[in-house]
């Protein structure tokens, strides 16, 4: 592999069976185990880590009734990567996303985004951090229903006090790239679900964040709109060098990414790299892992 | 089981129920406290009857206000119901019958109402003790013997009102549960109010139209005044005009609020750097979305606030005027008047016949003034008792004086020699509001002689005047609006013709402090010309009235003076020597009586004003609070999104504050604006009786109202803060 994670405590795990892999770091997965990963990741050319998750743990509940949602999870995402996280309901993938996105606080471990450890930030600083470094896309588009598409996209910029003239230019620009210029002056309830999601994507992208997080973005879309949205993500990733972290349980959606992390019972089960393989082939390999995770994991489909 | 569930629900839904509880508690407190007024008045007042009268008025008013409160509670409850439809749906899905669900809800309402009753009565009992002192100061008396009191009667009335409110709410709630389909209940939270945005041009047009209509209504009101001015013949027409003005202002207010959001949005959007900055556009859009749905209630609230402000300020100012004018118009320990028959009355056809049939003495014009001191002795004190005796005023009075005044319209003439409208024309001034449509004949001034007035001045311990050969003076103790006309006449040297002489002013202005001829609370002398005695000799004028003033002999007790005057007494007729009748007894008023009636009137008006105003203000504020809380609850998701986009909590709360401030302040500003214009007109009417002063009591009352309104605002904001925090924390489930 042509990249090395600076924080890689689990190097020793390489060579073991994938099924037994424990919080396998992102970078040290050469062709081991039954599932081969591909060659070099697309985004890895840029190489600098944008997100480093180290020994992350999240425990819910108190004495006697403890649920370990995340157990010692570590991985790294480099700039320009498009990473998918897959897992069944209850596997801990949403908890992971919440912890990374600073919406939830971790029990232990650290989450470093662009060099800053978010687990140690105070609430006041978090808002600023979220505003400047992160972009969000959710299953329901989470657009503000009282604002037009244009205003929704502009909102992160106006919150950051970007001058009005610049706001207008950037909104038009991102809307054009994501092919939603025609709906800019419509209200969310006047748009289709797919349009809403692309507006949400534009809103996440417009601030040029270090990391865009998408939580089941295609969950509420039909296949055509899902495809359109995922193509938008590819556009964002290729043209803007945007780093995207997408949680999904849809193998089709995952096949658009460069790399997929599989989570089971709060631990990283394995990971797949797309390399240069066509999307179709990558999809088949994802399906294989999903099938192999089997058991309660089969509902990941 | 149901009880347990209901209790749990109340505790869990405590936040939703808080507004409900708060408002109901306030209502109970106010109802109880104001209905103990008869007990309080009993503690501070000596007069019989007044406490009962007060109590009666208050309980009637309470019933009316309970109805207002009832509707408010139905509204508040609708808010709670809306939030909990899903829960009630769930109960039914789990197999509860509608009856059981209804019972849970009835229990919940009962628990909250019970809590409100206990809290409200506790607060009411405390406040009513304190209010006794306030009552004493309102009625200008001392507390005779203060003791803790509890009024069962007030309690019963309050409980009755509360039960009525409870039943009304219950009926509405049961209706909601009964009508609702389970599927609707379950999906209630998903049913989004779709956001209707109006065409901005239509909005702007509505807004401009609304402003224009309000302006026109203001203009019409200021031009026409209140219809009380009108002469009886024009009264209907004037009232119709007034009704049109009222209609215009109501429609204008509604249009104003309908167009407000759209126009405001458009205006702000045109200021690009302001609109595209921070949460400004979000705040504006939130407002616009809400104002559309609540603009009607905002208009209603501003009208109610207007009513409350006007009634309180107007009512209390009238009371204030009475207070200041009573100081000037009560001039002697004892006063009594005799009114003479005038030519108009005697010329009435059929009068003589009628009087004969009724057995009254023959009426004729007076030739000599009645000597009131002598005539009073013909009254009989305690006429039906054993100790019937003549009313011997001379025995209790020290110095005394009688002043006779004449009608300025000579016998046989059509018009008075001196009248207000001629005097007003002479100085090019309009007649004051409240007089302008009256019959010109009614505006004749009275006339009295220089010597009689000098005797009056002697009695009052004031310096005598000297009119010289052809001087005249005008006396008037009415308000500024009439007196400024007289002042203008005097200062500009307007002459009057009387007794073949041309008279010139002997002073620059009316001395209102030396003008009252009789004890009264609002002034009694609307204009009397003082002329040299020779003028009156040369021009005989018909007698109009005689006023008698006297001070009690020093050293006599209250019982010997006031007690004696107030004893049961028959007045009898005033007959001439030949058995004909030319005069009848007018009013009799002692200094104490005048003050007492002023103070009770004053207290009564103040109480009514405060009571009505308070309940109306609370009702408005509560409606706004409920609306705002429900708006925040509906927008919870939006605040969460904002937080996820990286908006700090402080900035979100600032946006919430801005939104709520608009909803609280706009209706208030509109209400105050309406009230100011209306008060301007009210002031014109009141000024007829004396200067209107927005005194201390009005200030204190308004401060209490503002505190109350602001308190609701604060509670709304704090509760919203909690709700927004919850919304931000609660990440939506997957």
Name the packing angle between helices B649-686 and B200-224 (round to 10°).
Answer: 30
Q: Buried b vs exposed e over B640-660: b needs ≥16 C-beta within 10 Å?
A: bbbbbbbbbbebbbebbbebb
Contacts of B288 in chain A (CB under 8 A): 146
> Does residue B48 carry a pLDDT above 70?
no
Is B281's CB within 8 Å of A155's CB? yes
Q: Buried b vs exposed e over B64-81: b needs ≥16 C-beta within 10 Å?
A: ebbebbbebbbbbbbbbb
Is A187's CB within 8 Å of B195's CB? yes
Nearest CA in chain B to A132: B646
> Does residue B149 carry a pLDDT above 50?
yes
What tens digit of pLDDT does each residue of B324-365 get? 777 778 888 899 999 998 887 788 788 888 888 888 888 888
Q: Are B33 and B704 in contact (CB under 8 A)?
A: no
Is A145's CB within 8 Å of B195's CB? yes
- Note the helical H segments in chain A: 93-100, 123-133, 149-159, 164-177, 193-205, 223-239, 251-254, 279-293
Is A161's CB within 8 Å of B278's CB? yes
Rg of chain B in Å (alpha carbons):
33
What tens digit of pLDDT does each residue of A97-149 get? 888 887 778 888 899 988 888 888 887 788 788 888 888 888 777 888 888 89
Per-residue model confidence (pLDDT) at position A9: 39
Domains of chain A, CATH where assigned = 11-294 (3.40.50.300)
Residues 6+ apart with CB under 8 A from B285: A144, A146, A147, A151, B265
Interface test with A, best of B292, B639, B644, B730 (most A CBs within 10 A): B644
Per-residue model confidence (pLDDT) at position B52: 75
> Does residue B560 carry a pLDDT above 70?
yes
- Closest partner residue to A147 among B194, B282, B644, by Cβ? B282
| Pairwise CA distance, residues B701 & A209, whole Å | 56
Torsion of Cα atoms, B481 then B487 then B489 then B493, to 10°: -170
Interface test with B, best of A100, A159, A187, A202 (most B CBs within 10 A): A159
C-alpha angle A126-A130-A134 in degrees, rounded to nearest 5: 150
- Closest partner residue to A142 among B195, B286, B641, by Cβ? B641
Is A163's CB within 8 Å of B197's CB? no
Per-residue model confidence (pLDDT) at position B546: 92
Nearest CA in chain A to B195: A146
Q: What is the DSSP string of B78-94?
A: HHHHHHHHHHHHHHHHT
Closest CA to B170 of B97, B108, B98, B114: B108
B72: distance to nearest CA of chain A, Å?
Answer: 29
| Token code pair at residue B675 | 């009230």
Contacts of A99 in chain B (CB under 8 A): none
- Closest partner residue to A159 among B192, B194, B647, by Cβ? B647
Instruction: Indicate the range of A122-131, B90-99, B686-695 predicted with least confidence.
Output: B686-695
| Pairwise CA distance, residues A96 & B180, whole Å | 41
B199: distance to nearest CA of chain A, Å?
Answer: 14
A276: distance to nearest CA of chain B, Å?
Answer: 33
The average confidence (pLDDT) of chain B is 81
Interface test with A, best of B270, B641, B654, B728 (most A CBs within 10 A): B641
Number of Cα atoms under 13 Å in the Cβ half of residue B535: 28
What tens digit of pLDDT does each residue of B660-676 get? 998 999 999 999 899 88
Is the Cα dihedral B495, B498, B500, B501 positive or negative?
negative
A248: distance to nearest CA of chain B, Å?
Answer: 12
What tens digit of pLDDT does each residue of B608-662 get? 777 788 878 888 888 888 888 878 877 888 888 888 887 888 889 999 999 999 8
Per-residue model confidence (pLDDT) at position B696: 60
pLDDT band at B537 (very low <50, low <70, confident <90, very high): confident
Q: Are B100 and B33 in contact (CB under 8 A)?
A: no
| Pairwise CA distance, residues A123 & A129, whole Å | 10
> Does residue B451 carry a pLDDT above 80?
yes
Is B645's CB within 8 Å of A94's CB? no
Residue range A42-54: mean pLDDT, rounded:
69
What tens digit of pLDDT does each residue of B261-311 get? 778 777 888 887 788 888 888 888 888 777 766 777 888 888 888 888 887
Residues 6+ apart with CB under 8 A from B270: none
Per-residue model confidence (pLDDT) at position A11: 37
Q: Are B645 and A155 in contact (CB under 8 A)?
A: yes
| Pairwise CA distance, residues B367 & B390, whole Å | 26
> Does residue B103 carry a pLDDT above 60?
yes
Tell me how crowded residue B287 is: count the other CB atoms within 10 A of its CB. Answer: 24
Per-residue model confidence (pLDDT) at position B231: 58
A277: distance to nearest CA of chain B, Å?
Answer: 32
Residues 6+ apart with CB under 8 A from B421: B431, B440, B443
Residues 6+ apart with CB under 8 A from B538: B499, B500, B501
A106: distance to nearest CA of chain B, Å?
Answer: 15
CA-to-CA dists, residue B299 to B34, B254, B287, B620, B685, angstroms: 29, 5, 15, 11, 28
Interface test with B, best of A69, A98, A127, A190 (most B CBs within 10 A): A127
* Torsions phi, psi for B56 (to 5 deg): -65, -45
| Pairwise CA distance, residues A191 & B387, whole Å | 99
| Pairwise CA distance, residues B30 & B37, whole Å | 11
B718: distance to nearest CA of chain A, Å?
Answer: 20
Is A159's CB within 8 Å of B279's CB? yes
Instruction: Indicate the range of A171-180, B98-107, B159-168 predicted with least confidence.
Output: B98-107
Is A161's CB within 8 Å of B277's CB? yes
| Pairwise CA distance, residues B673 & B214, whole Å | 10
Residues in chain B: 734
Chain A to chain B, count of Cβ pairs less than 8 Å apart?
Answer: 97
Q: Are B295 and B257 in contact (CB under 8 A)?
A: yes
A271: distance to nearest CA of chain B, Å?
Answer: 24
| Token code pair at residue B284 | 């504006």
End-to-end CA distance of chain A: 30
Closest CA to B449 of B375, B520, B538: B538
Residues 6+ apart with CB under 8 A from A90: none
What tens digit of pLDDT does each residue of B208-263 get? 999 999 999 999 888 877 766 555 667 778 788 888 888 999 899 988 988 887 78
| Token code pair at residue B665 | 């302040």
| Token code pair at residue B506 | 């002997």
| Pairwise CA distance, residues B85 & B90, whole Å | 9
- Closest partner residue to B276 among A138, A145, A167, by Cβ? A167
Per-residue model confidence (pLDDT) at position A35: 37
Residues 6+ apart with CB under 8 A from B311: B609, B612, B613
Closest CA to A262 of A226, A293, A225, A221: A293
Per-residue model confidence (pLDDT) at position B442: 60
Contacts of A136 in chain B (CB under 8 A): 644-645
- Closest partner residue to A151 among B194, B285, B644, by Cβ? B285
Beta-bridge partners for B546: B338, B404
In A, what residues contact B, Cβ < 8 A? 89, 94, 98, 101, 103-104, 123-124, 127-132, 134, 136, 138-140, 142-147, 151, 154-161, 163-165, 167-168, 187, 189, 203, 215-216
Per-residue model confidence (pLDDT) at position B565: 85
**Among all chains, which residue has been given the structure tokens 């790399």?**
A259
End-to-end CA distance of chain B: 33
| Pairwise CA distance, residues A69 & A59, whole Å | 6
Interface test with A, best of B281, B642, B646, B651 (most A CBs within 10 A): B646
Per-residue model confidence (pLDDT) at position B213: 93
Per-residue model confidence (pLDDT) at position B49: 67
Per-residue model confidence (pLDDT) at position B694: 55
Is B277's CB within 8 Å of A158's CB? yes
pTM over 0.90: no
Residues 6+ apart with CB under 8 A from B253: B210, B214, B299, B302, B303, B670, B674
| Token code pair at residue A184 | 């800019």
Task: Label the pairing between strands A211-215 and A134-137.
Answer: parallel
Per-residue model confidence (pLDDT) at position B538: 84
**B641 or B84, which is more confident:** B641
| Pairwise CA distance, residues B74 & B516, whole Å | 55
Contacts of A127 in chain B (CB under 8 A): 643, 646-649
- Closest partner residue to B645 among A140, A155, A216, by Cβ? A155
Instruction: Indicate the range of A15-24, A115-124, B31-40 predicted with least confidence.
Output: A15-24
Is A132's CB within 8 Å of B646's CB? yes
Q: Are A113 and A134 in contact (CB under 8 A)?
A: yes
Work out the percent of chain B whose per-residue pLDDT is above 70.
89
Name the packing angle between helices B2-12 and B98-138 (round to 10°).
Answer: 50
Nearest CA in chain A to B274: A164
| Pairwise CA distance, residues A268 & A33, whole Å | 15
Q: Beta strands of B416-554 (E only): which ranges? A: 446-449, 471-475, 496-498, 501-505, 528-531, 543-552
Q: Are B550 and B393 in contact (CB under 8 A)?
A: yes
Per-residue model confidence (pLDDT) at position B185: 60
| Token code pair at residue B311 | 């009634």
- Closest partner residue to B731 among A98, A130, A216, by Cβ? A98
Is B277's CB within 8 Å of A168's CB? no
Give the H/E segment covering residue A116.
Answer: strand A116-117
> Does residue B192 carry a pLDDT above 70?
no
Per-residue model confidence (pLDDT) at position A118: 85
- Closest partner residue to B276 among A129, A156, A164, by Cβ? A164
Per-residue model confidence (pLDDT) at position B51: 73
Beta-bridge partners for A116: A113
Per-residue model confidence (pLDDT) at position A65: 76
Q: Are A125 and A113 in contact (CB under 8 A)?
A: no
CA-to-CA dists, residue B642 to A140, A247, B5, B660, B722, angstroms: 15, 21, 36, 18, 16
Is B285's CB within 8 Å of A147's CB? yes
- Closest partner residue to A144 among B273, B277, B641, by Cβ? B641
Per-residue model confidence (pLDDT) at position B658: 92
Per-residue model confidence (pLDDT) at position A36: 35
Closest CA to B31 of B164, B148, B167, B140: B164
Q: What is the largest CA-CA distance in chain B?
A: 109
Is A189's CB within 8 Å of B194's CB? yes
Q: Are A92 and A265 in contact (CB under 8 A)?
A: yes
Q: What is the DSSP string of A174-206?
A: HHHHTT-GGGTTS-GGGS-HHHHHHHHHHHHHT
Indicate the SS3 state at residue B381: strand
Residues 6+ apart with CB under 8 A from B188: B82, B85, B86, B89
Instruction: Indicate the range of A5-19, A244-258, B146-160 predicted with least confidence.
Output: A5-19
Number of Cα atoms under 13 Å in the Cβ half of residue B15: 17
Rg of chain A in Å (alpha carbons):
19
Interface test with B, best of A131, A146, A169 (most B CBs within 10 A): A146
């Amino acid at each position: 592999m042509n990249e090395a994670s600076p924080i890689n405590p689990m190097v020793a795990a390489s060579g073991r069976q994938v099924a037994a892999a424990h919080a396998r770091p992102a970078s040290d997965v050469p062709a081991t185990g039954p599932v081969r990963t591909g060659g070099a990741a697309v985004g890895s050319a840029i190489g600098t880590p944008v997100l480093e998750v180290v020994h992350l743990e999240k425990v819910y509940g108190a004495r006697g009734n403890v649920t370990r949602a995340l157990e010692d999870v570590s991985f790294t995402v480099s700039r320009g990567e498009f990473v998918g996280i897959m897992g069944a309901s209850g596997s801990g993938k949403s908890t992971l996303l919440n912890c990374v996105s600073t919406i939830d606080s971790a029990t232990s471990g650290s989450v470093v985004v662009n060099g800053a450890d978010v687990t140690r930030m105070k609430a006041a600083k978090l808002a600023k951090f979220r505003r400047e470094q992160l972009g969000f896309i959710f299953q329901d588009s989470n657009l503000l229903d009282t604002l037009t598409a244009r205003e929704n996209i502009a909102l992160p910029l106006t919150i950051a006090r970007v001058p009005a003239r610049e706001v207008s230019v950037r909104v038009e620009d991102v809307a054009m790239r994501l092919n939603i210029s025609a709906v800019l002056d419509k209200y969310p309830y006047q748009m289709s679900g797919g349009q809403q999601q692309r507006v949400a994507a534009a809103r996440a992208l417009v601030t040029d964040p270090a990391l865009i997080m998408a939580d089941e973005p295609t969950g509420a879309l039909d296949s055509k709109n899902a495809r359109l949205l995922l193509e938008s993500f590819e556009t964002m990733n290729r043209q803007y060098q945007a780093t995207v972290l997408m949680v999904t349980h849809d193998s089709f959606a995952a096949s658009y990414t460069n790399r997929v992390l599989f989570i089971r019972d709060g631990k990283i089960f394995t990971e797949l790299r797309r390399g240069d393989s066509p999307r179709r082939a990558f999809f088949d390999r994802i399906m294989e892992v999903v099938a192999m995770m089997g058991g309660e994991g089969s509902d990941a489909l | 089981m149901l009880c347990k569930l209901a209790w749990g629900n109340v505790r869990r839904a405590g936040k939703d129920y808080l507004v409900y509880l708060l408002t109901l508690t306030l209502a109970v407190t106010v109802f109880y406290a104001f209905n103990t007024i008869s007990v309080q008045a009993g503690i501070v007042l000596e007069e019989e009857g007044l406490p009962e009268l007060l109590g009666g008025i208050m309980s009637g008013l309470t019933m009316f206000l309970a109805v207002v409160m009832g509707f408010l509670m139905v509204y508040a409850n609708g808010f709670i119901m809306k939030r909990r439809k899903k829960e009630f749906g769930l109960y039914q899905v789990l197999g509860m019958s509608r009856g059981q669900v209804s019972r849970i809800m009835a229990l919940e309402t009962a628990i909250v109402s019970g809590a409100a009753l206990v809290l409200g009565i506790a607060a009411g009992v405390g406040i009513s003790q304190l209010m006794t002192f306030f009552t004493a100061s309102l009625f200008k008396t001392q507390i005779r013997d203060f003791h803790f009191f509890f009024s069962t009667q007030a309690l019963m009335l309050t409980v009755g009102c509360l039960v009525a409110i409870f039943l009304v709410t219950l009926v509405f709630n049961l209706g909601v549960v009964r009508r609702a389909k389970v599927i609707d209940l379950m999906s209630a939270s998903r049913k989004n109010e779709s956001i209707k945005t109006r065409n901005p041009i239509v909005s702007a047009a509505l807004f401009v139209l609304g402003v224009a209509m309000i302006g026109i209504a203001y203009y019409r009101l200021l031009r026409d005044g209140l219809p009380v001015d009108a002469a009886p013949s024009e009264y209907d027409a004037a009232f119709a005009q007034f009704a049109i003005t009222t209609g215009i202002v109501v429609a204008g207010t509604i249009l104003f609020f309908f167009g407000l959001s759209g126009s405001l949005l458009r205006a702000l959007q045109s200021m690009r750097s302001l609109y595209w900055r921070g949460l400004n556009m979000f705040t504006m859009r939130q407002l616009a979305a809400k104002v559309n749905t609540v603009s009607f209630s905002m208009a209603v609230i501003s009208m109610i606030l207007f009513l409350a402000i006007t009634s309180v300020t107007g009512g209390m100012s009238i009371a204030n005027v009475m207070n200041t004018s009573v100081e000037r118009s009560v001039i002697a320990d004892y006063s009594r008047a005799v009114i003479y028959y005038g030519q108009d009355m005697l010329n009435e056809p059929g009068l003589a016949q009628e009087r004969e049939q009724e057995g009254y003495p023959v009426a004729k014009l007076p030739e000599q003034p009645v000597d009131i001191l002598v005539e009073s002795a013909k009254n009989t004190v305690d006429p039906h008792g054993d100790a019937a005796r003549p009313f011997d005023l001379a025995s209790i009075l020290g110095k005394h004086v009688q002043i006779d005044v004449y009608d300025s319209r000579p016998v046989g003439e059509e018009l008075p020699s001196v009248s207000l409208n001629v005097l007003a024309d002479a100085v090019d001034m309009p007649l004051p509001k409240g007089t302008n449509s009256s019959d010109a004949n009614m505006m004749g001034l009275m006339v009295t002689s220089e010597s009689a007035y000098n005797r009056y001045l002697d009695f009052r311990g004031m310096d005598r005047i000297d009119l010289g050969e052809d001087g005249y003076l005008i006396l008037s103790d009415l308000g500024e609006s009439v007196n400024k006309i007289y002042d203008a006449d005097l200062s500009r040297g307007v002459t009057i013709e009387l007794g073949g002489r041309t008279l010139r002013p002997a002073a620059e202005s009316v001395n209102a402090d030396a003008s009252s001829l009789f004890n009264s609370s609002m002034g009694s002398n609307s204009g009397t010309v003082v002329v040299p005695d020779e003028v009156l000799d040369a021009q005989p004028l018909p007698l109009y009235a005689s006023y008698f003033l006297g001070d009690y002999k020093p050293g006599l007790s209250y019982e010997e003076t006031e007690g004696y005057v107030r004893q049961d007494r028959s007045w009898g007729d005033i007959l001439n020597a030949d058995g004909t009748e030319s005069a009848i007894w007018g009013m009799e008023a002692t200094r104490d009586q005048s003050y007492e009636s002023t103070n009770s009137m004053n207290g009564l008006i103040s109480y009514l004003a405060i009571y009505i105003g308070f309940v109306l203000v609370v009702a408005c504020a509560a409606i706004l609070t409920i609306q705002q809380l429900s708006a925040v609850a509906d927008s919870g998701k939006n605040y969460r999104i904002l937080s996820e986009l990286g908006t700090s909590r402080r900035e979100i709360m600032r946006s919430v504050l801005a939104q709520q401030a608009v909803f609280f302040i706009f209706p208030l500003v509109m209400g105050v604006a309406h009230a100011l214009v209306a008060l301007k007109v009210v002031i014109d009417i009141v000024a007829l009786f004396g200067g209107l002063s927005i005194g201390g009591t009005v200030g204190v009352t308004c401060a209490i109202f503002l505190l109350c309104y602001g308190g609701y605002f604060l509670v709304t904001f704090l509760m919203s803060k909690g709700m927004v925090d919850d919304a931000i924390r609660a990440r939506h489930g997957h």
